[in-house]
Every structure is written in structure tokens, then in C-alpha cells.
Structure 1
Amino acid sequence: MFKKCVFTLLTLFMLPAFAVEKKNVIFILSDDHRYDFMSFMPKAPKFLKTPSLDKMAAEGVHLKNAFVTTSLCSPSRASILTGRYAHHHGIVDNTSPIPEGTTFFPADLQTVGYQTAFVGKWHMGEVDDEPQAGFDRWVSFKGQGRYTDPLLNVDGKKIPHEGYTTDILTDYALDWLDKREQGKPFFLYLSHKAVHAEFEPAPRHKNQYEDAQPDYPKTMDNTEANYQGKPDWVRAQRDSWHGVDYAYHGDLKFEDFYKRYAETLLGVDDSVGRVIKYLEQHGLDEDTLVVYMGDNGFLLGEHGLIDKRNAYEESIRVPMLAWGPGMLKAGSKSEVLVRNIDIAPTILELAGGKTNISMDGESFLGLLKENEDSGKNRDFLYEYYWEHAFPHTPTTFALRGTQYKYIYYHGIWDKNELYDLKNDPEEKHNLIDIPAFQQIRNEMRNDLFDRLAADDAMNVPMRRGSWQAADRLLD
């Protein structure tokens, strides 16, 4: 009996700190939030104020090098929920249905005793807002939804609402926290529509930055010098739906577009603040990990472009913050590459859950707890597949490492790209044809295609165009 007690005590002491008691997790996802639009960031617009996100960074961990493996709503969201690349989970664009048999990691949390809730933008399968397996509570809407007076699917029942969607979703999230079963760990996934275009700030934030002066990026200039070495499609896109000179077919002025983006973000910051305040007021802050990130980045003039999809840094890089006063060291910063495919394994490790999903990502829980770098190579594959509805951006594959990025374009006769991100973070100088960089180019190109081949990922999807907007674009 004595030996059994000693063994039990030793076992408890040898367990990781998180394993003794299951911690709660709140994952907050925003849409199209670029990595540097938080007011604590050095390159943030001087007029922008995001006090709640600043609080998360000051009291938690800022993962400075967070990325998505596909910079598009549906594929990125599927990667977050499966821990898999798009070529594995199969949701390669915004209209692809969820493949039969797909499972999402919150179902694994349920098996280890977690209550789970999904509140917000689902956007997989475009028109589907029906409750998904793995969630005890379900609040969502079809497709992109709308910023005001949303029609929400609440546990399978369609309910119209009045008000601003970001606020309404936050209300539902906090209401669920109030009504959940006490004493059980919980996982809340709060997924915002904001700040997706076309931007619409909350009434309280409308025109708050009307007199602000946008910080135009240096690579926005329409000069030969700026586009030297760039693929032809990049300059051509400047005069398209996703370009600064003809944004949304000329319906938008870039300066107004920029300001409305910043104003719409304020509602998301308010939501984050409300969630953290709730945890603090209800004594849950010591036992809850809050993770905030964007589903993809967003260009605001870089290379003359807006939107995302391409493999440039502003498109693939996202904000990521972790807050948990009872678990994390305040004010920590990490330079290690972290990807959207790493979210699922990280949360599962924290929860003590196991999964049958064959995940491509790896947990970064040690990075959060002790700033421990596993030492593993986190270079990652980036993939974007051409869309009939938005034909301006070609199918793109890239390999993003800690210093260099190699970009390959499929199906067009154009120039590929190679950048030294350490010495050229704005990606001004394409090194693809520079003799001194031929070895690096060849090694990264070979590595890229080796990875694609190993994953059987070179079956580029092609579909019948069915969206009316695409037909108008191509007329």
C-alpha cells in the first residue's frame, strides 16, 4: 500500500503542470486582420488604438512570427480546426464543401470532458450554417454574413437579430459562459466576421478615424523601379478588383478603404476586452488560456495590392496573442515560426486530448509556457489555388523559411520569386535571377516540390465556374 501511494505521488509530480487540472480555452478568430495592425506594434498606424489586444500582449505572449498556410477564409479555418494543410483537408477555396468523413479537433475535446461552443463565422461550404459535430453550442450564419441585423443559426434554429454582428456574437459567447455546466472545463471558439471587406464599423466607431492620415507603404508607388523584378501579374492586378487603382471596380477610394478597415477593427478589440473582463470578474482568468489570431493577413497597398491570397508577408502573416495569467509569463515574445496548423495540436496537448486526425501541425505549448523552442524545423509550405470568381491571383505555392522565401506560380508564364526576408522584409528585391542566390533558389525549389510530391499535393483542383460575379468579371 505504501509503495502504491509513493508511486501515485511521484506520478503526479512528474506530470506536466497543465496535466494536473484541465484548463479552459477560448480561441478568438478575426477575419483579414493583418499582423501589424495592433497599436503596440512598431509599424502600426500612429492613430490606431487597440487597448484590449495591447493588454493581451503586455500580460501574455506575443507570437511575433505567426502565419497561415493558405491566406483565404475557408482553407485557413479548416486548417485551424484540423491541424492540416489545405491539400490534406480538401477545403481548398471558399466554395469547396467539407469532404465527407472530416472531423474537427473540438470533437476530441468533448471525449476528454470539455464543453464546447462555436459562435460566429463558420464559412466552409459557403452556404452551410448548420450545426457541426464537436460543438455542444452552435451560433453561426451563412457564408460571409453581414455586419448589421444578422440572421443567425442558433442550434439549428434561424433567428433574426438587430444590432451590430461583432457585439451580438460576443453577447452569445458570454451568455454561454454564464449558462455552461459549472465544474467542467470548456472550449469556446469565438469567430468574428470582422474585419472582412466590405468594412462596416460599429456605429460608435464610424468616422472615428475620418481625419487620420494613412501610412502608405513604400511599395505602393506605381513606378518602374518599384516593380522591377516583380511578376507581370502583380502590376496588372493593380488595376483590378484587388488593386489600389481600381479597388472593387472603382467603387472605393483607397484612403477611405484604409480608414474603414481600422475603424471596423475597433469592434473586435472591444470584443476581446469584454471576454477578458468577464474572465477576470468571474475568477476564471487563472484557469483559462485565451488565444487570439487572424484567419489570414491583408495587404493595404503593398505592391499596389489590397486583399490577401498571394504569398507576400502582409498576406500570410497574422496576429497571434496568448493570454493566461495563471499559466503564462507576462510580456513574453517569441520569434519562432508558428502556423495555423499548429493551433489544434497545441490546444489538444493542453487539454490532454488525443486525436485520430493525421495532423501536419505541431504543438507550441512549450513555447507558450517556458518560451521553449523545440528546435524542429518550422519552415512551411504555402498554397493558394486559383479561383474562378477572383481570377486576378494565380495558383501559388511557396516555401517560407526563417530567412528566405521561394514563391512558385503555377499555370502562368511569369517570373517566380525569391526573397531574403532578413535583409529585405518589404520584399522589394526579387533574387530569383541573381547568380549569387542560384543555389538557395534551387535548393528551396527542390524542397518545395519534394514536399508537394511526398504529400501527393500536386493535383491542382479545377472546378466549373458557377458564381455569377465571376461571369461578370470575365464578360
Structure 2
Amino acid sequence: MDSALSARRRIRPGRRALATAVAAGVLVAVTGASAATADTGPGRASAHRPNVLIMLLDDARADAMNAMPRTVSWLANRGISYPRAVVTTPSCCPSRATMFSGRFAHNHNVTAQSAVGRYDHDRTLQHDLDAAGYRTAAVGKIFNGWPSTRRPPHFDNAALTGGGYVSSSFVVDGDTRRAPYATTFIGDQINRYIDSYERDDRQPWMIYAGFTAPHSPYTPEPRYARVVDPWRANPAAREKDRGDKPDWLRPYTVTTAEGAATRQAQLRVMRSVDDAIASVRARLAARGELDNTLVLLLSDNGKFWGEHGLPSKFAPYSAADRVPMLMSWPGHLRAGVRDNRLAAMVDVAPTVLDAVGLRPSFATDGRSLLGDHRRSQVLTEYWHDTANGSIPTWASAYAPGRYRYTELYDAEGEVIDREYYDLDRDPWQLVNLLGDKARGNDPDVGKLARALAAQRRCAGAACW
């Protein structure tokens, strides 16, 4: 059977989670989404299904959003923010694959930057929306190393780049173009696709936009090149004694000044993203589509600003996996809600499909955030990747405000080191209770270790 036809037959609208979300205070009482799609035939999009716009930042931390005040005003103040949102693998390609698929990296198998070839494009958000009759477009960066000339499966249109800021090369539906400034071009291209798709208002659309910012090389527009954002480095960035940390970490010696410089460089390029997103909001308003568009802003991972002496991400510390997660759908999602649930990148695909009234055609490891499901902790995981330096394979049971238990593994999968942080008393992960040489304060991690082993193998509902 043709895979697209098979998917169309399996996709069914789901109302139960939407009703639950109304009771939970996430949705307003009148949504109009699922009820309107109940009679929609297989493969035909309903005009009542919302458009979907997903905007992904590259290396943006949750605490960097002060550089994007208009975006926060739109999506957080008039929508829902998730201050405890995390990625489940703090590495670019694995995290993006999780966003699109709703699955942990140990299930979608993109465990390294070079492993995108293992990705099953037919078990993704874009597959199911395409099968349901959505017009789909991908703009900007999708995966490291993905050829700009290759349109990703299940996207009708693509305007892709490999990165960079000034005079960047984009391939727009087969035509190569040179963008004076990549961030501005991405915003303009989103607007071009909106204009094109809105010529037929009967058919909803999904646009994914991957901004280069705030990834290096941090080239700002001239008007933002001298902006100064004062910062007092946090305790983790000022950490001096790292004797309790694993051996792999100790050679890294990023200074507080170097971390502050990275932060400032990121915030400068993020200001241009704020401008681009403001232009997108204006275009949606001009087209009368603000209330009919579900908008999400995310980041593929965080970025160290010198915390624990580290220069990048990839490691089991909060600066690497705490990311912005904002969602707006006026008239359908309540405005100004701070949802303190532990949300994760693995929840994005099931949430979007739930919002548009579709049941995933594949098993997801995450849950829709429109329901009232709550997790007490989340699995984060990483595999040694030579593209990312010496960081070993690790897995972590992370419960914000409570604890973080991490195991590090050798090439054979044997545990070579452990970390445990009491996040209630030590939110900056300064004292590894299993490595501080004070045996009297060592927690019994046997139960956590067994649970972590099960989580590293979980799939579908077993991950819930």
C-alpha cells in the first residue's frame, strides 16, 4: 500500500485531549479545531484546521529571550510559555529529528551530526500534515550538512541554506540566491510562502523556519554591532573548583570573560531575529491569519556561556538543554499562561498534531501539551560524536528543581562515571554528590539507575 495513502487512512481527529485541555486551563472553551475536522475525508484538508508556523532558533538558551522583546510579547504574553522546557538531546541534528518525529534519539537513530541518513522521514510531523492535505514549506537551516539543493521529503517548497549570516547562499525552490543578511531573508521568505499559500485560503499550510541565529559566527547587523547587554555571570560560569566533575570536562577552561563575550554576541544576532519575526506577525495580521495560525518558537539546544568552563553544548548541564518554548494560537490557547510543566522537545510533534485534530500515524514518545499529562522527570541522552569533541556518551534522569542523575558510558556501554546533583539546594550543579569525596552525602542511586536503564530503551507509551 502506498505509504501516504496508508497514513491518510490512519490519521483521525482526536477531540479528547482538547476537551481535557479546556478543563486544565490551557485552551479556551471555544476551539473549533477538532469538531470542525470530524467530517473531513481522508487526505482532504479542512479549511477549519489552523495553519502551523514553527520557528526554530539555533543554540538559543531560555534566558537569552530578553533580546527578542516583541517575539516574547507576541508568543508568551499572548500565548503560552514553558519555562521548564528542555531538549532531550542537546545536539543539533538529533534534537531537530526529535522535534519533527516526537521520538527520543534512541528511537529515531539520529544520534550524531552525521547520522541524518538514518532518519525516517515518513514518521514525522510534516509527513502527517502533508498526508492530511496541508501545503508545507521548509525555510533556512533544517539539518547540519543537508544539501540546500535537496528538498526534504514531505515539504512542497523549500528555501534552504547551510548557515552563515552575510551574503549567505540559499536555494529557493531550485533557484540559487544570495541573501545580503540571512536572518532578514528567512523572515522575508516565510512571508513569501504565506502570500503564496493564502491565495487559496481553503487549504491550510505548515511552514518550518530554521534560523541560523544565534549560532556562530555571530555576525550582527551593523545597527546591533555595538549593543551592550550587561550581565553578571551566574555561579556555574564562575565555578573555580571542578574537582568533583568527570575527567573529560576538566581540560576545558573557558573563562568568565569569554563566556560573557559569547553571550553578548548571541544576543546581538538575536535582535535581528526579533525584527524578522515581527515582520511575520505583521504579515499574518495583514492576511487576517493571526487567529488561524498555531505558532511555536523553539531552539534546538542551549549554549554554554562558560558554565563549568565549557565552550559549547552537548553536556548534561542545564545551560545546554534549557530552551525557549513559546506557543500562541489566539482565541484557542489562553493568553499569558506560564505552564510550569516539564515540557520537552519530544512533545512538539504530538502537540501540533493534537491541535490540528490529527492522531499521529506513528508511535510518539512524547505527549501533547494540550492535555493535562505531567511528567516528574525526563530522559536526556547523548552519544559520543567526534564532530563535537571529547564528550562521552551519557544519559541523564532530569527533574528540574529536584535532582539530576547522570551516567557516563564507555564504547561498550559500561558505566564509567556518575553524577548526582541536588537541584533544590544546588541549582547550578556545582557539587556532584557522587564525586565530592564526601561519602556520607552520597545518595542511593540504585533505583534511579534501574529506571534510567529502562528509559534508555523505552518507546511510545512506555516513555510516558
Q: Residue 114 of structure 1 contacts residue 185 of structure 1 at CA under 8 Å; is this kept in 2?
A: yes
Quote the Cα distance in structure 2 between the aligned partners of 1:415 and 1:35.
Answer: 28
1:339 and 1:378, CA in 2 relative to 1: closer, same or farther beyond 3 A? farther
Q: Residue 232 of structure 1 contacts residue 414 of structure 1 at CA under 8 Å; is this kept in 2?
A: no
Report the identity percentage. 28
Question: In the comparison of the two structures, how many residue pairs are matched?
Answer: 411
Identify the residue that residue 396 of structure 1 maps to in structure 2: 394
In the TM superposition, residue 113 of structure 1 has moved relative to its aligned partner by: 2.3
Amino acid at match of 1:136: D
Quote the Cα distance in structure 2 between the aligned partners of 1:137 and 1:126.
Answer: 15
Amino acid at match of 2:137: A
Quote the Cα distance in structure 1 between the aligned partners of 2:75 and 2:31.
Answer: 24
Identify the residue that residue 31 of structure 1 maps to in structure 2: 58
Identify the residue that residue 333 of structure 1 maps to in structure 2: 338
Q: Residue 33 of structure 1 contacts residue 296 of structure 1 at CA under 8 Å; is this kept in 2?
A: yes
Quote the Cα distance in structure 2 between the aligned partners of 1:395 and 1:92.
Answer: 10
Matching residue within 27, 46, 57 for 2:76? 57
Structure 1: gaps spanning 5 or more residues = 1-10, 40-47, 246-251, 367-372, 456-475
SS of 1:273 mapped into structure 2: helix
Identify the residue that residue 378 of structure 2 maps to in structure 1: 380
Matching residue within 163, 181, 184 for 2:180? 163
CA deviations on 1:192-251 (whole Å, 9 max, x unpaired) are 111111211123211222xx4432222233633xx242223222222xxxx348xxxxxx
Quote the Cα distance in structure 2 between the aligned partners of 1:330 and 1:84.
Answer: 28
CA deviations on 1:116-159 (whole Å, 9 max, x unpaired) are 111110115554651012111111123xx21111221222x241
Mapped pair 1:293 → 2:298: yes
Structure 2: gaps spanning 5 or more residues = 1-15, 20-29, 37-47, 460-464
Q: How big is the alpha-carbon RMSD for the aligned residues of Structure 1 and Structure 2?
A: 2.5
Identify the residue that residue 18 of structure 1 maps to in structure 2: 33
Amino acid at match of 1:260: A
Q: Which has the higher contact order (CA 8 A, sep 6+)?
A: 2
1:453 and 1:22, CA in 2 relative to 1: closer, same or farther beyond 3 A? closer
Quote the Cα distance in structure 2 between the aligned partners of 1:431 and 1:54.
Answer: 40
SS of 1:271 mapped into structure 2: helix
Q: Residue 367 of structure 2 contacts residue 373 of structure 2 at CA under 8 Å; is this kept in 1?
A: no
Matching residue within 449, 456, 475 for 2:453? 449
SS of 1:58 mapped into structure 2: coil
Deviates more, 1:416-425 or 1:329-338: 416-425
Identify the residue that residue 234 of structure 2 maps to in structure 1: 217
Q: Residue 75 of structure 1 contacts residue 86 of structure 1 at CA under 8 Å; is this kept in 2?
A: yes
1:422 and 1:129, CA in 2 relative to 1: closer, same or farther beyond 3 A? farther
Quote the Cα distance in structure 1 between the aligned partners of 2:376 and 2:127.
Answer: 26
* Equivalent runs, 1:63-82 vs 2, <5 Å: 63-82=82-101
1:105 and 1:124, CA in 2 relative to 1: closer, same or farther beyond 3 A? farther
Q: Residue 258 of structure 2 contacts residue 306 of structure 2 at CA under 8 Å; is this kept in 1?
A: no
Quote the Cα distance in structure 2 between the aligned partners of 1:206 and 1:186.
Answer: 36
Q: Residue 75 of structure 1 contacts residue 92 of structure 1 at CA under 8 Å; is this kept in 2?
A: yes
In the TM superposition, residue 448 of structure 1 has moved relative to its aligned partner by: 0.7
Amino acid at match of 1:230: K
1:290 and 1:222, CA in 2 relative to 1: closer, same or farther beyond 3 A? closer
In the TM superposition, residue 49 of structure 1 has moved relative to its aligned partner by: 5.7
Quote the Cα distance in structure 1 between the aligned partners of 2:287 and 2:303.
Answer: 35
Mapped pair 1:408 → 2:435: no
Quote the Cα distance in structure 2 between the aligned partners of 1:52 and 1:396.
Answer: 34
1:436 and 1:340, CA in 2 relative to 1: closer, same or farther beyond 3 A? same
* Equivalent runs, 1:130-169 vs 2, <5 Å: 130-142=150-162, 145-155=163-173, 157-169=174-186
In the TM superposition, residue 310 of structure 1 has moved relative to its aligned partner by: 0.5
Q: Residue 237 of structure 1 contacts residue 392 of structure 1 at CA under 8 Å; is this kept in 2?
A: no
Quote the Cα distance in structure 1 between the aligned partners of 2:147 and 2:98.
Answer: 19
* Equivalent runs, 1:197-212 vs 2, <5 Å: 197-209=216-228, 212=229
1:446 and 1:26, CA in 2 relative to 1: closer, same or farther beyond 3 A? same
Q: Residue 148 of structure 2 contacts residue 171 of structure 2 at CA under 8 Å; is this kept in 1?
A: no
Matching residue within 231, 248, 269 for 1:233? 248
TM-score by length of 1: 0.80
1:111 and 1:102, CA in 2 relative to 1: closer, same or farther beyond 3 A? closer
Identify the residue that residue 43 of structure 2 maps to in structure 1: none
CA deviations on 1:54-97 (whole Å, 9 max, x unpaired) are 33211111111111111111010011111111111111111113
Quote the Cα distance in structure 1 between the aligned partners of 2:318 and 2:98.
Answer: 19
Amino acid at match of 2:170: L
SS of 1:260 mapped into structure 2: helix
CA deviations on 1:384-412 (whole Å, 9 max, x unpaired) are 11122332322121111242211111129
In the TM superposition, residue 364 of structure 1 has moved relative to its aligned partner by: 0.8
1:222 and 1:360, CA in 2 relative to 1: closer, same or farther beyond 3 A? closer
Matching residue within 393, 403, 420 for 2:422? 420
Q: Residue 31 of structure 2 contacts residue 332 of structure 2 at CA under 8 Å; is this kept in 1?
A: no
Q: Residue 188 of structure 2 contacts residue 276 of structure 2 at CA under 8 Å; is this kept in 1?
A: no
Mapped pair 1:194 → 2:213: yes
Quote the Cα distance in structure 1 between the aligned partners of 2:442 and 2:381.
Answer: 23
* Equivalent runs, 1:40-55 vs 2, <5 Å: 48=67, 50-55=69-74
* Equivalent runs, 1:178-193 vs 2, <5 Å: 178-180=195-197, 181-193=200-212
In the TM superposition, residue 332 of structure 1 has moved relative to its aligned partner by: 0.6
Mapped pair 1:350 → 2:333: no
Q: Residue 299 of structure 1 contacts residue 307 of structure 1 at CA under 8 Å; is this kept in 2?
A: yes
Quote the Cα distance in structure 2 between the aligned partners of 1:111 and 1:351.
Answer: 13
In the TM superposition, residue 443 of structure 1 has moved relative to its aligned partner by: 1.5
Identify the residue that residue 462 of structure 1 maps to in structure 2: none
Quote the Cα distance in structure 2 between the aligned partners of 1:444 and 1:393.
Answer: 22
Quote the Cα distance in structure 2 between the aligned partners of 1:37 and 1:63.
Answer: 14
Quote the Cα distance in structure 2 between the aligned partners of 1:24 and 1:100.
Answer: 25
Q: Residue 230 of structure 1 contacts residue 430 of structure 1 at CA under 8 Å; is this kept in 2?
A: yes
1:208 and 1:276, CA in 2 relative to 1: closer, same or farther beyond 3 A? same
Amino acid at match of 1:67: V
Amino acid at match of 2:74: K
Quote the Cα distance in structure 1 between the aligned partners of 2:141 and 2:212.
Answer: 6
Quote the Cα distance in structure 2 between the aligned partners of 1:349 and 1:27.
Answer: 15
Identify the residue that residue 249 of structure 1 maps to in structure 2: none
